[in-house]
Amino acid sequence: MEAMERETRASEEQRKITERQLIDQERTLKENMKQLEEKLEEDKKNSAKELDTVLNSKLQEQEELFKQGFEEKAQLMKDEIDSLKREKAENESRSYFPDILSAMGQAAAIFLPGIIPKVAGIGVSALSSLFKK
């Protein structure tokens, strides 16, 4: 009887340890995902800022070409500017949701114990591909 009680207590203690580990892993995963989101958003802002700088430079260059009478070169510059504007619009409309979803799925598949979280993680990673353009 005493051996059964010790075994039950040991089993309960092991369950609590495992539960704490799962909670810690989940917290860490959430923190990592938040950091990833922040980094992706920062990268997006930096990319937009760089594109604006290039675009402004090209607009000034185009204006100078017009002033100097180089209409053909100015038209080529206009085409380049239009291309940069399209690139900027595409970057602004791009969603990082699929990337984040994929990373979450991969992290769940790697770090969470048991077969069900691993299958769910792989499923989430696969689902993210549906959201990509």
What is the distance between the alpha carbons of residues 43 and 40, in angstroms, rounded to a whole number?
5
Mean pLDDT, the chain, whole residue set: 78
pLDDT digits (tens, 9 = 90+) for 70-98: 777 778 888 888 888 888 888 777 666 66
pLDDT digits (tens, 9 = 90+) for 18-63: 989 888 888 888 888 888 888 888 888 888 898 889 888 888 888 8
Alpha-carbon gap, residue 65 to 57, rounded angstroms: 12
Q: How far is CA 109 from CA 46, 57, 102, 104, in A?
A: 31, 46, 11, 9
Is the CB of residue 118 less than 8 Å from the CB of residue 112? yes
Mean pLDDT of all residues in 106-130: 62
